[in-house]
Amino acid sequence: MKKIVTMQDISCVGKCSLTVALPILSAMGVETAVIPTAVLSTHTMFQGFTFHDLTGEVNPILSHWQKEGFDFDGIYTGYLGSFEQIDLAKDLFAKFGEKAIKVVDPCMADNGKLYPGFDLPFVHKMRDLCAVADIIVPNLTEASFLLDIPYRQEYDESYIQEVLHKLTDLGVNTAILTGVSFEKGKIGAYAYDKRSDSYTTYFNEEEPQHFHGTGDIWASTFTGGLIRGLSLLEAMQLACDYVKESIHKTLIEENHNIYGVNFEQAMPFLIDNLYQKAQQ
Ligand code: PXL
């Protein structure tokens, strides 16, 4: 059985980060170890959330794991709880990443704005983590912050390719922009692989509403797909299709949540699709 470790927060209510990564990766048949970066009462889109930083726990966890001789097939980092945790995530890669696929979701911003609690020193330091990853999966806001370029809502394909080239100039081999849309009603992901100098794209019909936490569902599914042996395109397809299905399940429920999607009800879809692709 393949094993992954994911480093991100626990938002006790909110359906994002570890509370989606853990069930999704487990359902995909991947043993999932976790490094919680912080415990929050809710994700940061609620007012008045509590925040307990777990930076001090990370080194003791890594030291114990080294003594135990654990290793992993994948390492996936998401929302980090402090500036110092960026170096700790680099340590995680250095100590356990030898044969692992290393995926960084530089969770820090959306819709042109940083999430509460993040600042420019954090953004700039995040470039160091992107430099030692195999694959990064930012949205366009995060990419703009990483590259110090203005966030654009209107763009064309050559602009997205230019952004992807600049992202791989940070040192990572593959950059994937999520939530890319060139025409109304279509949304998807656009990847650039520096080694093969090739692009991979996948687009879907856009659901009529956007929700929080879908970036984490996308990144978890994509990473799980790669660990299960899917190609880059297959993993991108699976992630885009599962997010779409999760939004669909949410919207057909009367009085649905507004803070996260019904990814749980879309799990049969995820598993069917994973096994179809894995057997091809
Ligand atoms: O979905 C990304 C994310 C993860 N963790 C926390 C967040 C967010 C987005 O706002 O607030 C705590």
CA of 11 to the centre of ligand 1 (A): 8
Is the CB–ligand 1 distance for residue 16 below 6 Å?
yes
- What is the rounded average pLDDT of the residues 267-279? 93
The whole-number pLDDT of residue 221 equals: 98
- pLDDT of 271 over the 80 cut: yes
Tens of pLDDT, residues 35-45? 999 999 999 99
Is the CB–ligand 1 distance for residue 7 below 6 Å?
no
CA of 197 to the centre of ligand 1 (A): 32
R_g over Cα of the chain? 17
Q: Where are the alpha helices (DSSP H) in the chain?
A: 18-27, 55-68, 84-96, 120-131, 140-147, 157-168, 214-227, 232-251, 267-279
Model pTM? 0.97
The whole-number pLDDT of residue 180 equals: 98
Is the CB–ligand 1 distance for residue 11 below 6 Å?
yes
Three-class secondary structure of residue 70 per DSSP: coil
Tens of pLDDT, residues 179-219? 999 999 999 999 999 999 999 999 999 999 999 999 999 99
- What is the rounded average pLDDT of the residues 89-96? 98
User: What b/e readout covers 12-35, taking b as 16+ CB neighbours within 10 angstroms?
Assistant: eebbbbbbbbbbbbebbebebbbb
The whole-number pLDDT of residue 279 equals: 72
Tell which residue, 95, 142, 138, has the closest CA to residue 115: 142
Is the CB–ligand 1 distance for residue 188 below 6 Å?
no
Tell which residue, 193, 176, 221, 189, has the closest CA to residue 76: 221
In the structure, what pLDDT confidence band is assigned to residue 278 with cuts at 50, 70 and 90?
A: confident
Is the CB–ligand 1 distance for residue 139 below 6 Å?
no
DSSP-assigned states of every residue in 230-279: --HHHHHHHHHHHHHHHHHHHHTSTT--SSS--TTTTHHHHHHHHHHHHH
Is the CB–ligand 1 distance for residue 97 below 6 Å?
no
From 115, 137, 216, 261, mutation site for ligand 1 pocket: most ligand atoms within 8 A of C-beta: 115
The whole-number pLDDT of residue 280 equals: 58
Q: What is d(CA 135, CA 226) in angstroms, rounded to the nearest whole number? A: 11
CA of 115 to the centre of ligand 1 (A): 8
Is the CB–ligand 1 distance for residue 146 below 6 Å?
no
From 51, 79, 214, mutation site for ligand 1 pocket: most ligand atoms within 8 A of C-beta: 79
**Residue minimizing CA distance to atom 1 of ligand 1:** 213
In whole angstroms, how far apart are CA 152 and each of 108, 149, 155, 159, 204?
Answer: 17, 9, 7, 10, 21
Is the CB–ligand 1 distance for residue 213 below 6 Å?
yes
